[in-house]
């Protein structure tokens, strides 16, 4: 019973934070947040404050997650799908009102470094065997995305992140994982994740204190941290783009 309780707790934390430490990819479907429909969570849920979560099972859409929290931004609301664009939208929202929700208080994710710090020295090889160090990053903006193959949110954002490489040729894009080349190369190709893929980066991940995935850094031309995003949502990805455009 103790193990079951631990698994439930892990599931809730991944669900709340929109990031992942060990989970499998789930099929995308509509979700309900604050009585609005979304394709994905638009912004991070508030940490350290109570939120309500639950699930609704619909014959057409399948399982729909339900979340309620205070303080949704206006920018997030604009990403909602109009109810009249969802089959049986009104009926589903009415059914959602009857679902008993569980109140939880998500912990705030954290790492050892913060905005303004200089990114630590590293030396890692990519999938082609080329060695990369922080010295090679100086003089250009850099985006560094930490991920692993068992992280569903990581996989879901890869196609979008992959398009950034062509959109911003003056930016260096690195992806770092603790896994080996043979463990990631197929997924990277399938998801068109065109970042330079650095492997076996466990020591760097440990030094940074990363525990949730994906975690993404934006560095300035002097390797100083400008932005950190733990997890992935449309508004978080917009924040990253604002720093590199």
Tokens of 245: 């455009």
CA dihedral of 111, 113, 115, 117, whole degrees rounded to 10: 180
The contacts of residue 163 (CB under 8 Å, 6+ apart) are: 192
Q: Does residue 214 have a cis peptide bond before it, meaning omega lies within 30 degrees of 0?
A: yes
Omega of the bond leading into 187 within 30 degrees of 0 (cis): no
4: in domain: no
Could you report the per-residue pLDDT of 174-232, keeping only the tens digit for each?
999 999 999 999 999 999 999 999 999 999 999 999 999 999 999 999 999 999 999 99
- Is 69:46 a contact under the CB 8 Å cutoff? yes
Confidence at 18, pLDDT banded by 50, 70, 90 = low
pLDDT average, residue stretch 76-98: 96
Q: Give pTM, 2 decimals.
A: 0.86
In this prediction, residue 23 carries a pLDDT of 40
Helix or strand holding residue 15 (H, E): helix 2-17
Same domain? For 27 and 94 the reply is: yes
Is the preceding peptide bond at 196 cis, omega within 30 degrees of 0? no
What domain range includes position 48? Answer: 19-104
What's the confidence (pLDDT) of residue 62?
A: 87
pLDDT class of 1 with cuts at 50, 70, 90: very low
Mean local confidence (pLDDT), 142-160? 97
pLDDT digits (tens, 9 = 90+) for 56-78: 998 877 899 999 999 999 999 99
Q: In Å, how far from its chain's centre is CA 81?
A: 21
> What is the CATH number for 237?
3.40.30.10
Tell me, yes or no, whether 33 and 130 share the same domain.
no
């Amino acid at each position: 019973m103790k193990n079951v309780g631990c698994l439930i707790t892990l599931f809730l934390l991944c669900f709340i934070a929109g990031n992942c430490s060990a989970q499998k990819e789930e099929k995308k479907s509509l979700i309900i947040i604050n009585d609005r429909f979304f394709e994905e969570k638009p912004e991070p849920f508030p940490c350290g404050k109570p939120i309500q979560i639950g699930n609704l099972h619909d014959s057409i859409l399948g399982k729909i997650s339900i979340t309620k929290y205070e303080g949704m931004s206006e920018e997030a609301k604009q990403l909602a799908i109009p109810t009249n664009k969802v089959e049986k939208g009104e009926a589903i929202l009415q059914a959602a009102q009857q679902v008993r929700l569980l109140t939880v208080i998500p912990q705030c994710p954290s790492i050892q470094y913060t905005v303004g710090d200089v990114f630590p020295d590293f030396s890692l090889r990519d999938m082609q065997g080329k060695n990369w160090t922080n010295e090679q990053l100086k003089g250009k903006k850099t985006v560094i995305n930490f991920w692993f193959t068992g992280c569903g949110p990581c996989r879901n954002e890869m196609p979008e992140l992959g398009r950034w490489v062509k959109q911003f040729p003056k930016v260096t894009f690195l992806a770092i994982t603790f896994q080996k080349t043979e463990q990631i190369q197929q997924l990277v190709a399938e998801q068109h994740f065109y970042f330079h893929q650095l492997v076996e980066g466990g020591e760097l991940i440990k030094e940074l204190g990363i525990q949730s995935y994906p975690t993404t850094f934006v560095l300035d031309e002097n390797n100083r941290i400008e932005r950190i995003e733990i997890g992935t949502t449309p508004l978080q990805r917009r924040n990253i783009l604002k720093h590199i455009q």
